[in-house]
Structure 1
Amino acid sequence: MLKQFRTVAAVALLTVTTYAVAVDMNGAHPDTYVVKKGDTLWDISARFLTKPWLWPEIWQANPQVKNPHLIYPGDVLSLAYLDRVTAQPGPRQEAPINAIPLADVEPFLKNLTVVDSFKELPYVVGLEENRLRASAGQNAYVLGLQDAQPGQRYAVVRPTVRFGQPKPTDDLDARGDTVPGSGNLWKNYVATGDRSEFLGYELAQVNVGTLTQVASGGVQASTLKLEDSGREVRAGDRIVPVQANPYDLQFVPHAPASAAAPGHLRVLAVADTFTSGGPRDVIAISGGARDGIDNGTVFSIWRNGSHINDRVTGSKSTSRADDALKAGGSRVSLPDEYAAHAMVFRTFDKVSYALVMEGTRQARVGYELKHPDAQ
């Protein structure tokens, strides 16, 4: 499940342009800044710019920098001109900053995928010595591996949630069926709307293994030797081929290619927490490649305006604050409220995963995603 995973920062690679554009500088920016190990390009940009997601368009290299696409710890960033940030090279004793070492985010990038269906996939039917769980060095027995060969490597994945609209998620049981009533909580966070749509199933990788024996003769199951000791395998887990490199290694933030219809994009889930998260938390959103979203797309996240009881001219039948999800009756509709910005780093057809970069309040399940410059 998404909440099982968390990443602590985004991976980004500084892309330097050769032209100048208008810059909206922060009023309190320093004259110079020395890049330190552990910096993120987004955070450094936020020191200078009111819109840190625009750094690929406005950071220009000093001609003395041999490789204008990389910034290193020890480099001195200077606001030498009003329309650009220049860099004076420092020592090259450490690796260039990609925000964090790739190893810190790679587990999250490779461990989740979203598919339209999974019940046709091969699955674990049993485990060595009739165990309830199995881990590294033990055997899992798999049904449905057709035309497989010994030595092939497979990932063991587990269906965790069903994404949809208007109810963001439903939990799945060991058979991959929806747990009855598991999504009832979300009616308190997401207003029921006209849009009702299935968005996909989340599959979480729990292990990997090598095929050691294929089904033949009277033996109906193939044998998969498990290699990973991180998470245990259970009967009902699905099997997919291992992908060598299923994700991007570099992300350049940018605004959405097209505007989404109001209410179309919302937060479906938050990693490691129940309903809300802040900077460096991962969220799942209800949009993907079909909506023109790609890796690096930046959104602003908004709390939908409350619908409150007018205690002066409205109903006097209740004394509690009415924070309703829908307008109507004597309720007054208030404006939407900005919460945070998030950058997409993994995109599927109808669902994407994004990293919350910074904000003024927590991002919550059901919050709407808009253009990063929305007011």
Structure 2
Amino acid sequence: MLKQLRTVAAVAMLTVTTYAVAVEMNGTHPDTYVVRKGDTLWDISARFLKKPWLWPEIWQANPQVKNPHLIYPGDVLSLAYLDRVTAQAGPRQEAPITGVPLSDVEPFLRNLNVVDSFEDLPYVVGLEDNRLRASSGQKAYVVGLDAAQPGQRYMVVRPTVRFAQPKPTEDLDSRGKVTPGSGNLWSSYVASSDRKEVLGYELAKVNVGTLTHVASGDVQASTLQLEDSGSEVRRGDRLMPVQINPYDLQFIPHAPATATAPGQLRVLAVTDTFTSGGPRDVIAISGGAREGINNGTVFSVWRNGSHVSDRMHSPGSSRADDALKAGAGRISLPDEYAAHAMVFRTFDKVSYALIMEGTKPARLGYELKHPDAQ
């Protein structure tokens, strides 16, 4: 769980503007709702609207309210009239709720980074007592920290995956090299373009440590005292400085600020599963800050339309019924909606998003479109 959340004393009074007339209201919404611990802004908005990502556009703050996006467990939301939504302040004893369940995305906020390269990062060259693995209370010996100072804290990270096009993911070995053949799993993946591009390398946090001695004289390695009893450190693991709050804790759902070309954004990976995921699963997508994506951006996820053989005109054809691309003798079918996903962690060319709801699994290679796409 993310334990340190900054509380704010502002009382959220939310007013629906005249734009609300054009918004599709959810006919099953209650007249009042008491915000509970564990709620998300998405869940509460879904009680009022058919499109939960539209709520920032219609819930406007009264002039005296600094931040209408902060509502708390115990607040009472009233929707007695279509032209007014109000929030009666609760006890303010809990942290404000956020756009997504933090427990579902915590590992991706705290333990994963995506970088353009990692070869120049400091790395573990040896371990205390020549161990093969080391953990809390033991020492790791590192090269590449000559300019550091004792007392500085570092994350020990391990390269796990390379995100790229046209093969979306390729596993990395202990040296950070691509595992031969791993990209062959995605032979049926439809790349967003014909160009070849590395989108980034995923680095997973293994441990945390404090630098106790810096290389000097005849000693060529610095000493890192390991503190975490979780994963074990091994030779070849890399180091990154510990960052203080490098991520957001408030995720405000909104439509993409920048339009993207058809087929530009696709699902690169589905975490903790093989090729598909459903609500509350995390996906990696082939776009980030470079494409104008930021935290809270909502996309709809679509299965690309199949290209099937026309059996009426070619009943004796032996070709496969479903192809990745259009061609002579094939009929192209429409794309099919699968789910909605909201971005919660953005890097330069890759982002992580949480599947919020859907009608079918979101799979590797599915396309991301505007949340209102039809």
Gaps spanning 5+ residues in structure 1: where?
A: 1-5, 8-12
Distance 1:63 1:217, change over 3 A: closer
Q: Where does 1:155-234 land on structure 2 (aligned, <5 Å)?
A: 155-190=155-190, 193-234=193-234
2:344 maps to: 345
Question: What is the CA distance between 1:67 and its match in structure 2?
Answer: 7.7
CA distance in 1, matches of 2:359, 2:264: 23
1:80 maps to: 80
Q: Is the 1:17–1:57 contact (alpha carbons within 8 Å) kept by the matching residues of 2?
A: no
SS at 2:323's partner residue?
A: coil
Which amino acid in 2 is paired with 1:360? T
2:367 is the counterpart of 1:368? yes
Which amino acid in 2 is paired with 1:338? Y
Q: CA RMSD in A?
A: 2.8
1:238-267 deviation line (CA, Å, top 9, x unaligned): 111111121112121111111101111001
Which amino acid in 1 is paired with 2:148? A
Q: Is the 1:16–1:59 contact (alpha carbons within 8 Å) kept by the matching residues of 2?
A: no
Which amino acid in 1 is paired with 2:49? L
Deviates more, 1:326-335 or 1:26-35: 26-35
1:56-95 deviation line (CA, Å, top 9, x unaligned): 2222568999985432333332222224432233444544
CA distance in 1, matches of 2:315, 2:133: 57
Which amino acid in 2 is paired with 1:331? R
Question: What is the CA distance between 1:329 and its match in structure 2?
Answer: 3.2
2:338 is the counterpart of 1:330? no
Distance 1:268 1:127, change over 3 A: same
1:271 maps to: 271
* TM-score, normalised by the number of residues in structure 2: 0.89
CA distance in 1, matches of 2:240, 2:86: 47
CA distance in 2, matches of 1:115, 1:280: 25
SS at 1:183's partner residue?
A: helix
CA distance in 1, matches of 2:327, 2:319: 17
Which amino acid in 2 is paired with 1:274? F
1:3 maps to: none
Gaps spanning 5+ residues in structure 2: where?
A: 3-7
CA distance in 2, matches of 1:15, 1:90: 10
1:140 maps to: 140
Q: Is the 1:71–1:97 contact (alpha carbons within 8 Å) kept by the matching residues of 2?
A: yes
Question: What is the CA distance between 1:327 and its match in structure 2?
Answer: 1.4
CA distance in 1, matches of 2:12, 2:351: 23
CA distance in 2, matches of 1:238, 1:351: 21
Question: What is the CA distance between 1:206 and its match in structure 2?
Answer: 0.9
**Relative contact order higher in (CA < 8 Å, ≥ 6 apart):** 1
Which amino acid in 2 is paired with 1:364? R
CA distance in 2, matches of 1:275, 1:239: 30
SS at 2:187's partner residue?
A: helix
Question: What is the CA distance between 1:173 and its match in structure 2?
Answer: 0.6
Q: Is the 2:156–2:209 contact (alpha carbons within 8 Å) kept by the matching residues of 1?
A: yes
Aligned length, in residue pairs: 365
Deviates more, 1:184-193 or 1:295-304: 184-193
Question: What is the CA distance between 1:143 and its match in structure 2?
Answer: 1.2
Question: What is the CA distance between 1:113 and its match in structure 2?
Answer: 1.1
Question: What is the CA distance between 1:24 and its match in structure 2?
Answer: 1.5
Distance 1:165 1:233, change over 3 A: same
1:107-133 deviation line (CA, Å, top 9, x unaligned): 420211111111111111111122211
2:303 is the counterpart of 1:303? yes
CA distance in 1, matches of 2:190, 2:371: 22
2:48 is the counterpart of 1:48? yes
Provide the identity percentage: 79
Q: Is the 2:146–2:222 contact (alpha carbons within 8 Å) kept by the matching residues of 1?
A: no
Deviates more, 1:337-346 or 1:59-68: 59-68
CA distance in 1, matches of 2:84, 2:126: 61
Q: Is the 1:344–1:355 contact (alpha carbons within 8 Å) kept by the matching residues of 2?
A: yes
Q: Is the 2:16–2:83 contact (alpha carbons within 8 Å) kept by the matching residues of 1?
A: no
1:215-241 deviation line (CA, Å, top 9, x unaligned): 122221111111111111111111111
SS at 2:57's partner residue?
A: helix
SS at 1:132's partner residue?
A: coil
* TM-score, normalised by the number of residues in structure 1: 0.89
